[in-house]
Amino acid sequence: MQSKYISIFFLVLLCTTSSAGHCQPDTTRKLWLGYLDKIARPVINNLADDNLRVAMPVDLSKQSDNTDSRTKAAYLEAFGRTLSGIAPWLELEGGASEEITLRDQYRNWCLKAIANAVNPNAHDYMQWQGGQALVDASFFALALVRCPWLWQHLDAAVKQQVITTLKSTRSIVPVYNNWLLFSGMIEAFLCKYDLGDDPLRADYGVREFIQHWYVGDGMYSDGMTFHFDYYSSIVIHPFLSEILKIYNEKKKNYLPEAVKELAAGQRYAEIMERLINTDGSYPATGRSITYRTGVFHHLANAAYLRQLPQSLAPAQVRCGLTAVLKKTMEPPSTFTNNGWLNIGLYGHQPGLADFYITTGSLYICTEIFLPLGLPATDEFWSAPPHPWTSVKIWSGQDVNADHALDLK
């Protein structure tokens, strides 16, 4: 009997020490940068060389609704989503010499990649029309919002092509759900840089979510019907908060809405952190589960913006997200032999793909890298390892009870 309890003790000890030990300040940032480079390099480097269409394989869901249009859209999906995830890191200055060198390389690639994406004469000119184009044009706009450095360093001709391209997406009618925020993000980009925004296109999404689609406890309904999935994190909180921020900086017309969204967002960050299991896995529920770490967009964004609730220490979020990153990226079949992402959550699992999923869709996983926009000296990176909530609870530590948020 005594040996049984000794075994249990060492099992718990292994769980807690390995959970904390894998996110040491001196190694974790390097680990994240290694994954960022592994995931983003094939997309950004090839597009910079005007070679993305040649190099990138496009795998589609077995339930694809339109193989031709989905294939054409896949390249903008990969680019817009990757760029939005690495944008805060591109905006950052300083750091270790190796990181500066890597960032400078990516900055150079990204300027060329943007130029090719919006140039009708380039081989890799993107598909900017059709329903899916609105989605990923908005991620592209979000990237330029998150990284003013990119916008400032584009030459005048490319800037004009970007403006013309993004305004052309106004002809696309958004679906009556989170897509309203895709239209709103493009207008927010135009507002931020004084490029002639249409406030009504942003206002529609803001008011629907704030006034009609908030369902409580930090979560939004994705349109008229609530779905138990990750879309409050994948799109709604990050997009809504950014739109509110930009319009309040320019016009101060959504101040009460921003207060409500911040409170709701902090509560949802608590929920998201609690969804991370002791081994870095999380409930595989709802649509778009093949987005992998992209489902933690909101938690990563809250950490990057330093908007975590007081109940969450930045270091415990670092450790939890690191566990998620390793869990979803370490299986050998996560990547093809040429380094492209395979469809799946834990390796290659094409059966998990919704009808709209393509290879390009998967690159929303880069949203987990948003905290790399914080310097290495920030508490998120520099504080000692701190166990996340599941590790605390399932190792027998005492933890404060969880409580719902009631917004009045």
What DSSP letter does each residue of 168-179 carry, written as one string?
HGGGSPPPSSTH
Residues 88 and 366: beta-carbon distance below 8 Å: no
Q: What is the spatial distance between Cα 19 and Cα 385, in angstroms, rounded to a whole number?
A: 9
Rounded distance, CA 208 to CA 178, Å? 10
pLDDT at 5: 32
Contacts (Cβ under 8 Å, ≥6 apart) of 237: 220, 261, 264, 265, 268, 297, 298, 301
Q: What is the pLDDT of residue 21?
A: 56
214: part of which helix (H) or strand (E)? strand 214-216
Q: Identify the residue whose tokens are 């799946």.
A: 344
Tokens of 14: 């292994």
Q: Please name the residue that has the structure tokens 């249990």.
A: 8
State how far the Cα of 43 lies from the Cα of 360, in Å rounded to an integer.
9
369 Cβ contact partners less than 8 Å away, ≥ 6 residues apart? 32, 35, 36, 85, 86, 88, 89, 300
Per-residue pLDDT of the chain (408 residues; tens, 9 = 90+): 333 332 333 333 334 434 555 799 989 999 999 999 999 999 999 999 999 999 999 999 999 999 999 999 999 999 999 999 999 999 999 999 999 999 999 999 999 999 999 999 999 999 999 999 999 999 999 999 999 999 999 999 999 999 999 999 999 999 999 999 999 999 999 999 999 999 999 999 999 999 999 999 999 999 999 999 999 999 999 999 999 999 999 999 999 999 999 999 999 999 999 999 999 999 999 999 999 999 999 999 999 999 999 999 999 999 999 999 999 999 999 999 999 999 999 999 999 999 999 999 999 999 999 999 999 999 999 999 999 999 999 999 999 999 999 997
Q: Which of 275, 327, 329, 330 is nearest to 298 (CA)?
A: 275
* DSSP letters for 298-328: HHHHHHHTT---TTS-HHHHHHHHHHHHHHH
Q: Which domains does the chain have, with CATH numbers?
A: 2-394 (1.50.10)
User: From CA 279, how far away is CA 50, in angstroms rounded?
Assistant: 40
